[in-house]
Amino acid sequence: MQPENDVKAAAPIFLICSERSGSNLISSIVGEHPDVYAHPPYHLGRDLLLRLHEVAAGQSSSEALQVLRDNALDKVRKYRSDEEASRLADWFNQQSELSSHAVARFVFQEMPLEARGKHAFIKENNAHQLLFFLVDCFPDAKFIFQVRDPRDFLLSAVARRKRWLGNKFGSVRNALNVWREDQLGGLTAYGLLGPERVFLQRYEDLVARFEETVTELCRFLGLSFDERMHKFHEADSAQRLAVKGGPRENLAKPLMTENFRKYRKGLSRGQIKIVEAYVGDLMDRFGYPREYTGLAKPGFFSALRPQLTEPLERFMNGDMQPQYKFGNRRLKKQLDAHVAPLCPPLWDGKGDGGS
């Protein structure tokens, strides 16, 4: 028999969007609609669902699951409340065998009491990596694919590390690879699911043509525009997230209607050429005019330069491991200490013992 909450749950809404691209802004705006509950940015998709491969065959008693469970409880406690964390802990304790579908449905639709009966809005920066699972788990789910000019994206990534060669993503090359992968993930969803399931919008349209863009978005979601969406910055949820000096501090301010093309003053000519050399093809698709065309078009050096400076950038940003930093580093370190091999050793690691 299907649980009562599953029967009544409204279709969830998932956001596909790069970091530093207005993901918290659109979450706060849509979350102010009376028929929507917007989850805070605790990234349980990234740090729980996408990490379930660490839990061997759904074992509900594994040490890796305990690490995932404790991290999830800490996040819910931080962004929501002790009571909600207790509900999640009780749910975990009741599971004899872990099901990824059950985890997702409980966390996204049932755990917050305010979400019940509403459309849950889930902001996950890596949502495109979960696409096949989300479509299978939530057949009626809809997706918002929000894109931002990669030049302003890079400027924002650089601004988060206020030092020489500072970059939130470790290097310019990695930052642009992240942006490219995220947009290709969104385009994959848009191409496979179509405009009936995926709403494509630009961050620049959201801030410059707010009511028109949000009204169209509401129509896509089957909702009516609500004036409270325009006053998102006054909401308690936005005020809690807007820590001064933090990455979300602007949420407590009215909409910044001209918050784009800042790269013209914030990036050097060389940096702009690098962006256009790396992701200019996707900029064309999303309608972002290039600054340098014709004889001024970026040349060979613009494409090569990020590869030459990458070692120094990684050193300056403390990102010297073979892989770039992945989201929650503390969680990854804890999980690595409890890794459960899925296959037996193919050999003993002492050589082939023969020739």
Q: Residue 209 has what pLDDT? A: 93
| pLDDT tens figures, 81-121 | 999 999 999 999 998 888 999 999 999 999 999 998 999 99
- Quote the mean pLDDT of the chain: 88
Q: What is the pTM of this model?
A: 0.89
Q: Residue 4 has what pLDDT? A: 46
pLDDT higher at 343 or 67: 67
Whether 75 is in a domain gets the answer no
* The pair of three-digit structure tokens given for residue 121, joined into one six-digit string: 């809005």
pLDDT higher at 218 or 320: 218
Whether 90 is in a domain gets the answer no
Whether 141 is in a domain gets the answer yes
Q: What is the mean pLDDT of residues 287-310?
A: 94
Whether 71 is in a domain gets the answer no
Q: Print the domain residue range for 180.
A: 11-39+112-323
Whether 1 has a pLDDT exceeding 50, the answer reads: no
The CB-based long-range contact list for 83-88 (8 Å cut-off, 24+ gap) reads 84/111, 84/112, 84/113, 87/111
E-only strand ranges, the chain? 13-17, 36-38, 119-123, 142-147, 198-202
Whether 81 is in a domain gets the answer no
Q: Cβ contacts of residue 98 below 8 Å, gap of 6+? A: 52, 55, 58, 59, 60, 65
**What is the length of the chain?**
355
Q: Residue 248 has what pLDDT? A: 58
Residue with tokens 């609609």: 33
Q: What is the mean pLDDT of residues 335-347?
A: 81
Whether 68 is in a domain gets the answer no
Residue 322 binned pLDDT confidence (cut-offs 50, 70, 90): confident
Whether 69 is in a domain gets the answer no
Q: What angle do CA 300, 306, 312 make, to 5 degrees?
A: 140
Q: What is the mean pLDDT of residues 187-191?
A: 97
* The pair of three-digit structure tokens given for residue 48, joined into one six-digit string: 């729980």
Whether 140 has a pLDDT exceeding 80, the answer reads: yes
User: CATH code at 308?
Assistant: 3.40.50.300
**Nearest Cα to Cα of residue 10 among 114, 119, 105:** 119
Whether 77 is in a domain gets the answer no
3-state secondary structure of 64: helix
Note whether 133 and 33 are within 8 A (CB): no
Say what angle helices 172-193 and 150-159 make with each other, to 10 degrees: 140
Whether 156 has a pLDDT exceeding 90, the answer reads: yes
Residue with tokens 């999640």: 88
Domain count along the chain? 1
Q: What angle do CA 333, 87, 25 make, to 5 degrees?
A: 70
Note whether 70 and 155 are within 8 A (CB): no
Q: Residue 120 has what pLDDT? A: 96
